Structure 1
Amino acid sequence: MRQHATELIVTSPGQGLHEFTRDVTGWVASTGIEQGLLTLFIRHTSASLLIQENAAPAARRDIERYLARIAPESRDYEHDDEGPDDMPAHLPSALTATSLSIPVANGHPVLGTWQGVYLFEHRRASHRRQVALHLIGE
């Protein structure tokens, strides 16, 4: 059994779903592990990770609009230390995922035909997000 770990920096231009599947699959291939389990973990509380549709941009736009409706910017939030988009960024992060587990087979993450790995940026401004990757297998 072998293990590999790294950290990817994913730069988001602002709110929305930003795919970084190629970075993940490239790193997995570079490890030489053929069968195993990949874990991704985002080290932030105002962004999250999703496995989502990567063929139809409308699906991603619908998800973005839905979360904007249920967590709108508002003066009603007590937590606004970093501005009016602070708490509305934490809420979708709490409702989505901060970590993902993906099986690895034949040296590649086992993703469906239309699945991609996304950083979901919940803040308006561009950010450099840290995503920890850990792969264990043979």
Structure 2
Amino acid sequence: MKQHTHRLTLRTQGKGLVPITRPVLDWVSGTGIFTGLLTLWCPHTSCSLTVQENADSTVRADIAAFFETLVPEEHGRYQHSTEGPDDMPAHLRTMLTQSGLTIPVMDSGPVLGIWQGLYLFEHRRTPHRREIVLHLFGT
């Protein structure tokens, strides 16, 4: 058994789903591990990770609109507003989604369905530098 770790760093452009499938696939294939288990971890409290439709961009737009309705940014609605009016809604959106993903690896790649892609879901309005920790264990 072998294991590898990697820190994937990216800049977001503000709210929305940021595709990360390609850099994750490239890193996994470069490790030499054929079969294993991949963990992705997002060490932030105002963005999250998700597996979602990767073919039609309207899915991402609908998801973003749904979260705007589900957890609105209303001035005065939340006690916590240290970093601005989008701060507490971002924390709530992260809590409702996922900070980590676990994906099986077969044939030197994560096992994803034909329409699935990996995304970092940015919940803040302004651009941010985000990090995702990858851990791969296998043979």
Distance 1:88 1:21 in 2: 26
**How many residues are treated as equivalent by the alignment?**
138
CA contact (8 A) 1:10 1:119 kept: no
Give the structure 2 partner of residue 137 of structure 1: 138
Give the structure 2 partner of residue 32 of structure 1: 32
Mind listing any 5+ residue stretches in structure 2 that lack a counterpart?
none
Instruction: Compute the TM-score of the two structures, normalised by the length of structure 1.
Output: 0.98
Give the structure 2 partner of residue 68 of structure 1: 68
CA contact (8 A) 1:50 1:119 kept: yes
Pairwise mapping of residues 1-138 of structure 1 onto structure 2 (< 5 A)?
Answer: 1-74=1-74, 75-138=76-139
Mind listing any 5+ residue stretches in structure 1 that lack a counterpart?
none
Q: Which amino acid aligns with 2:115?
A: W
Give aligned-pair identity as a percent: 53
Distance 1:117 1:48 in 2: 11
Instruction: Tell me the C-alpha RMSD between the 2 structures.
Output: 0.6
Distance 1:51 1:124 in 2: 21
Distance 2:130 2:53 in 1: 21
CA contact (8 A) 1:46 1:90 kept: yes
Q: Which amino acid aligns with 1:89?
A: A
Report SS of the residue matched to 2:137.
strand
Deviation, structure 1 residue 10: 1.9
Deviations 1:19-51 (A, max 9, x none): 010000000011000000000000100000000
Structure 1's consecutive aligned runs of 4 or more residues displaced over 4 angstroms after TM superposition are none
Deviation, structure 1 residue 62: 0.9
Distance 1:104 1:73 in 2: 38
Distance 1:10 1:21 in 2: 13
Distance 2:53 2:2 in 1: 31
CA contact (8 A) 1:8 1:130 kept: yes
Deviation, structure 1 residue 112: 0.5
